Amino acid sequence: MNISSSSPSFPPSQQINNLNNRRNSFLYLGICLTLLGCLISIISIALPGWQILDLPELNAVHEHAILFDCIISEVTPLNDLPRIHRDGRKSLPPLKPARQCTYKFEGLPSWQTSLFVRMAFEEGDFGAREHLNNHRFLPQHKAVLFFCVFTSVFSFLSIFVGACSSCFLPNAILHTISVGLATSCSILADISFWMAAENDIGIRGSTTVVYQQHLSYAFFIHCLGSLTLLLSSLFSVLSAYLLLLGECRKKQLLLDKNQRRDKMNEEYFDQKKLIQEDSKCLLLSDLFSIERAALTASLEVLPPPPPGTPQNLILKNSLIYSSPNNRIGEFIGGKQILNIDNIKCSDKEIILWIIEAGWNTKFIYLILIEKPQPVSNK
């Protein structure tokens, strides 16, 4: 036994409700992803590992970040060597390397110190160059900070506008635009920093060795935030599309309802008009029947008329004349009945004429025409 399965068809109102439910799901998911991407981008700015420079000569690692720079040294000072106590017990130093960070927002040194550092840098002193690089903003750092500020602004604006998009239709478009701008700013920050890192010529050490910086985990965390914002922008586009589709279907449903209502009203008035016309015809036919019955009853009690002189009943030009100067009424046809003398009238027929004058009926003529039959001669 074959059973054909078909997809269920829902009424238009239920389809609109399903669209609204899917649209709300995409909207809430997009808002959550926008908030998450913005937080990831802000947290990545505070992390130190945007670029890492490994210095084997100094047994140290330099971490260059957006807000501060850190030096991780694995050189163990003498005071951190294992100590032997009197009882023979040894105390081991901490195994983790020492970390020293310098914030770039700290006060700048005096002009004499700056001049000394710059002169040492020009002479090729490696230490002076590192000190100068650790205490200044590079162009890629400024670009990342600039785009991060606008990413945060557009992200929070999109969250506020997206929450109000159900109340006002243009807010859905504005929400999509604001999320797209936040995503663009975050991606531009990644591109600007990546291009600057690729164009870095490296740092020359005390010997002929050139140490090259490479990107670290903070940069990739910021890229993850950009990817999250990109997903949120896609969900915002889907949410706006479903909202516009639902509004179009609502308008189409309302238009169909109005058309069906107008059609039903038109059919109702047409049917009412027909009923009124039928009632008029019924009233008129009832009136004719009453008059005919009354006239027939009055004529049946009368004696038959005596045979008279020959008369001519001429039906000509749709008019009936019983005499040359006496108009009785209208009739359609053209006949001439002659020599009705010595004809006995046994059956009677009543014909009704209505003469219309103006807007309503003015005259009603009831004319009795006797159906003649020949009389047998005995």
Residue of 304 and 181 predicted with greater confidence: 181
Cα–Cα distance, 152 to 226 (Å, whole number): 12
Q: Residue 74 — pLDDT band, cuts 50, 70, 90?
A: low
Question: What is the percent of the chain with per-residue pLDDT over 70, rounded to a whole number?
Answer: 48
Which of these, 370, 312, 301, lies nearest to 336 by C-alpha position? Answer: 312
pLDDT of residue 151: 94
Residue entry with tokens 């609204």: 20
DSSP per-residue string spanning 101-130: EEETTSPPPPHHHHHHHHHHHHTT-HHHHH
Region 247-273: mean pLDDT is: 74
Q: Residue 216 — pLDDT band, cuts 50, 70, 90?
A: confident
Least confident of 97-101, 111-115, 228-232: 111-115
Residue of 193 and 298 predicted with greater confidence: 193
Q: How far is CA 344 from CA 304, 307, 310, 338, in A?
A: 9, 8, 13, 14
Region 25-50: mean pLDDT is: 90
Which of these, 57, 86, 84, lies nearest to 73 by C-alpha position? Answer: 57
Q: What are the pLDDT digits (tens) for 265-297? A: 777 777 777 776 666 565 556 666 666 666 666
Residue type for position 135: H
- The top-scoring range by mean pLDDT among 71-80, 257-266, 340-349, 357-366 is 257-266
Q: How far is CA 106 from CA 67, 218, 336, in A?
A: 10, 22, 132
Is residue 34 over pLDDT 90?
yes
Least confident of 51-55, 201-205, 306-310: 306-310
Is residue 335 over pLDDT 90?
no
pLDDT of residue 256: 72
> What does pLDDT average to over the chain?
67
Which of these, 41, 49, 53, lies nearest to 65 by C-alpha position? Answer: 49
Q: Residue 185 — pLDDT band, cuts 50, 70, 90?
A: very high
Q: What are the pLDDT digits (tens) for 139-179? A: 888 899 999 999 999 999 999 888 887 777 788 889 899 99
